[in-house]
Structure 1
Amino acid sequence: MSTPRTQQVCLSDTPYYHCVSRCVRRAFLCGEDPINGASYEHRRGWVENRLLFLSSVFSIDICAYAVMSNHLHVVLHVDAEKAKSWSTLEVLKRWHQLHKGTLFTQQYVKGETLPDYAVTLAEVSAKTYRERLMDISWFMKELNEPIARRANFEDGCTGHFWEGRFKSQALLDEAALMACMAYVDLNPLRANMTKTPEDSEFTSIKKRVTSAKGKHQPKALSPFVGNPKKDMPNGLPFKLTDYLELVDLTGRIIRNDKRGAIDASLLPILQRLNISSDNWLCIATEFEKRTGSVVGQEQSIDHYCDSHHRHRKPNKKCTKLLA
């Protein structure tokens, strides 16, 4: 039996989640269909553009993403405090970028004079919209449904385009977050779609490398803000240069099939998290295969089990790989 989404996503456990959506039909999300020769490569742009647009509307940051031939990976960070700081007007303006809202919310945004009961109804609607704008299920819905309608129209058919339920994994700590991000960024390379991470089209790693050449970080993605310290700004708790070096080195090992030829554990980012080279290569290349709905080091898993009153610890093998 599937675990209810409300139990899979709990912000008191972690604000970081890895989500995967897969197609259900033989027709591809992207790429070229080997049977009829039709190319769907342009749909990768649809997905990327929609994904980056949603990051400007929702209080959900994109840490990593990769648009593959028949599925999509995205690592998300829910910024609940940011959503709570929005005014009613800000919430309504954001929601109206996605949907029309109600007559009263439209009038509220336009600054029209409204009776007290109408203002109350607009504020009640804003409360609902605020919750949705920091909800991963709503984020994935707003990502997948427009793509499905557009693809069905192009294919001249109806019915499901995506699996009815996207997969989500809670990333409990920095080790799980870093391993998952690297796994996502290296997806095209493992699938032999590209020779280097920086050449991987429609991925976060390409966007980060391109921006890094201009000595800045992409605004649409969650920024790297350095190693944890006091008064930490919002962003990923790693140095950008350390992460890019880690992904580049891991990618070269994968591409050249020279596991262990370079000691990846000497990299600063792995030294800080105390992850060995062999363990890193295993978890970074087989993340989905080796993990379940909850991912983290042993201490994080113990805390998760205690807070949820679970006696059976999940992903025991995974905790060893993250150490």
Structure 2
Amino acid sequence: MPRPQRSEQFDPGEVCIVHVVQRCVRRAFLAGVDRDSGKDYSFRKEWIRRRMEALASVFAVDVLSYAVMSNHMHQILRNRPDVCCQWSDQEVAIRWLRVFPGRRLEEHLAEPTENDVQALVRDKERLAEIRRRLADISWFMRALAEPIARMANKQDDCTGRFWEGRFKCQRIVDEAGLLACSMYVDLNPVRAAMAESPEQTPHTSVYDRAKARQGAKLASAAFDLRPTPTDEAGRKIRDTPVDEIRQERKQKQRNPTGRMIRRDGWLSPLTLSTDKLSDEPEVHTGGLRSSDKGFLNMSWKDYWELLCWTARQSAEKLNPRVPASLRKTLQTLGIDLSMWRDLVWNWQRYFGNSVCVGRPESIKQHAAKTGHHHHRGQAAVRSCFAPG
């Protein structure tokens, strides 16, 4: 059966949450230790994380969870057209030009100027299309994958694909599916026997969140959302040697805004605010992410406790009894307590071939909404959830 059309899985015009998987070509370890040559490419994981962080500062897409592995990456993304609608035309223009500067007479400058921004603002038809693209997960993934491939090919002095093809996408249709998927993503290195616990899994969202609570900070990769004054750009072109401009740009790319931020400052907050209405966009104004909206009805403390308990449930150390403090959370979401560990650890068995993630009833509703009788995998997950 062919993969469903993107339009059936998510719509840039409505808020959607999706689980995205992008694999390296031939599933080679192009971001880890190459099994054939023995070369270590693990540093490319930080390339991917920083590019994700940079894009989170300009796209109307929230990064909820992520895990960068040696030959693939997982992300849980939420597009935010409601946030994008709150941005002014000037904000939309500078955000787009930071990611897609286009061709310029002076390519070595490659910094959007005030004139560039105003020229785009005057083109209302194109600006409307750009506003839609900034809330489109497909465009987010395009802006993430292509530069990484170019950098890797340049480093390896080769051409061809770095990623195997278009990304795999699964629509998450309820909170039960979102919690299970988030745990699955955060525990990917543990499941792959790359680490024994979540504290030892860099390049995952849970590692960033845990370190941030210990006070860890990092140099922000967020784009500078201020256009260069046109007069200043002109003087720089006239008076500054090209090599000096290029060197200055390279230094700025390491930390465009010169800020140190919390390690998880660019990620969506984990906990939903109880004092906010569900339809409030909660627009972020700090230039790090699109919104301040959380995604789970549970505290970080409870999430971390459940994650660490689930991580310890290997086949050799299986304790199917969920701690009493965590039972209420799972029962409220309709998850069978005895099946929780199996659901997360054996995710591929239940959702590996599914286009949708969630409770069977939610999956059925989404299938009907998209004109289908059912979705593949709908029956397989029934054993993991209590009857609706």
> TM-score, with normalisation over the residues of structure 1?
0.88
Cα pair 2:8 2:370 within 8 Å, conserved: no
Corresponding residue pairs, total: 317
Residue of structure 1 aligned with 2:313, choices 247, 253, 256: 253
Query: What percent identity do the matched residue pairs reach?
Result: 36
Structure whose alpha-carbon radius of gyration is higher: 2
Deviation at residue 227 of structure 1 after TM alignment: 7.6
Deviations along 1:285-312, whole A, 9 cap, x unmatched?
1223311111111331232133223223
Task: Name the counterpart of 2:277.
Answer: 231
Residue of structure 1 aligned with 2:333, choices 268, 273, 286: 273
Cα pair 2:93 2:121 within 8 Å, conserved: no
Gap change, CA 1:13 and 1:48, over 3 Å in 2: same
Cα pair 1:16 1:78 within 8 Å, conserved: yes
Task: Name the counterpart of 2:207.
Answer: 206
Gap change, CA 1:300 and 1:35, over 3 Å in 2: same
Cα pair 1:108 1:119 within 8 Å, conserved: no
Q: Which amino acid aligns with 2:381?
A: C
Aligned to 1:61, the other structure's residue is in SS state strand
Question: In the aligned structure 1, how far is the partner of 2:56 from the partner of 2:342?
Answer: 31
Cα pair 2:15 2:81 within 8 Å, conserved: no
Aligned to 2:183, the other structure's residue is in SS state helix
Cα pair 1:265 1:277 within 8 Å, conserved: no
Deviation at residue 271 of structure 1 after TM alignment: 3.0
Deviations along 1:125-153, whole A, 9 cap, x unmatched?
22121111111111111111111111111
Deviations along 1:210-241, whole A, 9 cap, x unmatched?
11234988221110234867624621122221
Question: In the aligned structure 1, how far is the partner of 2:329 from the partner of 2:319?
Answer: 17
Cα pair 2:15 2:82 within 8 Å, conserved: no
Deviation at residue 195 of structure 1 after TM alignment: 1.3
Question: In the aligned structure 1, how far is the partner of 2:72 from the partner of 2:27?
Answer: 12
Q: Which segment is superposed worse, 47-56 or 305-314? A: 305-314
2:266 is the counterpart of 1:220: yes
Aligned to 2:306, the other structure's residue is in SS state helix
Residue of structure 2 aligned with 1:110, choices 108, 114, 122: 114
2:80 is the counterpart of 1:79: yes
Question: In the aligned structure 1, how far is the partner of 2:366 from the partner of 2:319?
Answer: 33
Aligned to 1:46, the other structure's residue is in SS state helix
Question: In the aligned structure 1, how far is the partner of 2:343 from the partner of 2:273?
Answer: 21
Give the gaps of 5 or more residues in structure 2: 105-109, 217-261, 283-292
Aligned to 1:253, the other structure's residue is in SS state coil
Q: Which segment is superposed worse, 151-160 or 28-37? A: 28-37
Task: Name the counterpart of 1:9.
Answer: 10
Deviation at residue 278 of structure 1 after TM alignment: 2.6
Gap change, CA 1:112 and 1:191, over 3 Å in 2: closer
Question: In the aligned structure 1, how far is the partner of 2:71 from the partner of 2:375?
Answer: 32
Question: In the aligned structure 2, how far is the partner of 1:113 from the partner of 1:276?
Answer: 53
Cα pair 1:228 1:237 within 8 Å, conserved: no
Question: In the aligned structure 1, how far is the partner of 2:263 from the partner of 2:27?
Answer: 37
Cα pair 2:320 2:341 within 8 Å, conserved: no
CA RMSD in angstroms comes to 2.8
Q: Which amino acid aligns with 2:330?
A: L
